[in-house]
Amino acid sequence: MDDNEQINFIQVTSQLNWDEYFMLLAMLASFKSKDPSTKVGCVFVDKYNHQITMGYNGAVAGIDETKIPWGNDRTVSLEFQKYGYVIHSEANAITHRNASLEGSRGYVTLFPCNECAKLIAAQRVEEIIYLSDKYSHTAENRIAKRIFDLAGVKYRQLKISPLLVDGLHGYLKQLLT
Ligand SMILES: [Zn+2]
């Protein structure tokens, strides 16, 4: 190539690494949740960084969401609390998958509960990457970690860099002003 033909061979970089990219997708999924108190999203990806399935916490697919209680007050019977009806994002993603999750990575906005940990471990997911672990003081959380440890599911927290947050601000500003 002479100098002229090299004109388009410029150095390029991505704003996002794979971890940040998929955590943003999980966050996007969480925005679709109707749950007024806790919106959670997740995405499972294969070793080639292709997404397999995504989910958010919501009502059972196919039922009228306006007919179920969305409040979280535990002083009434479970029959009248959201906890009796809502499916967690991980369970939703696993239910609606079209391919095996064996060896996959799961990106979750909130560390999985023990019920979802059972499903994740049974699917032979290789690693869980989470954003928040705000329920780390609960028994459910400790059980989930124990299940992962026993099943060999790795887990690690992702710190979203301030650079990425600044980048998003800049992007929105550039688009909207
Ligand atoms: Zn769960």
- Per-residue model confidence as pLDDT tens for the chain (177 residues): 788 888 888 888 777 889 999 999 999 999 999 888 889 999 999 999 999 999 999 988 888 888 999 999 999 999 999 999 999 999 999 999 999 999 999 999 999 999 999 999 999 999 999 999 999 999 999 999 999 999 999 999 999 888 778 877 887 888 887
Cβ atoms of residues 52 and 38 within 8 Å: no
CA of 2 to the centre of ligand 1 (A): 59
User: Exactly one of 5, 20, 65, 90 is catalytic; which is it?
Assistant: 90
CA of 88 to the centre of ligand 1 (A): 5
| 90 flagged as catalytic | yes
Determine phi and psi for 43, rounding to 5 degrees: -145, 135
How many residues can be counted in the chain? 177
Tell me the C-alpha distance between 97 and 52, whole Å.
7
Cβ atoms of residues 130 and 158 within 8 Å: yes
Residue whose C-alpha is closest to residue 93's, from 83, 72, 110, 108:
108
CA of 118 to the centre of ligand 1 (A): 9
DSSP state of 31: H
DSSP state of 50: -
CA of 48 to the centre of ligand 1 (A): 26
